[in-house]
Amino acid sequence: MPRVSAKRQITLPIDQCRQAGIEPGDEYESLVFDGHITIIKKTPGAAKGILKHVEGDASWCVAHQVAMPLQLTRCRSAGW
């Protein structure tokens, strides 16, 4: 049975990794709910296009240009 190391690391059983398609170097998300840890493999491009129907509001950044210059910088760096 796998154990948690002193550094809080775990080793996933190879049969479970095969079933989940997890390979060395893969990225993952982990969530805790009701005392259980769930590991979810990240899939590159899985969310591609999910927000394509959402329209941005560039006026928000312009309207706050004087009052919130730091926020404007954040908007620009985010591509708004």
The 10s digit of each residue's pLDDT in 38-66 is 998 888 877 787 777 877 766 656 555 55
What single letter denotes the amino acid at residue 11? T
pTM of the model: 0.50
> At residue 33, what is the residue type?
F
Residue identified by tokens 């296009």 is 49
Q: Is the dihedral angle over the CA atoms 2, 6, 8, 14 positive or is it negative?
A: negative
Contact 56, 76 (CB under 8 A): no
Average pLDDT over residues 9-26: 92
Instruction: Reply yes or no on whether the pLDDT at 14 is more than 60.
Output: yes
What's the whole-number average pLDDT of the chain? Answer: 78
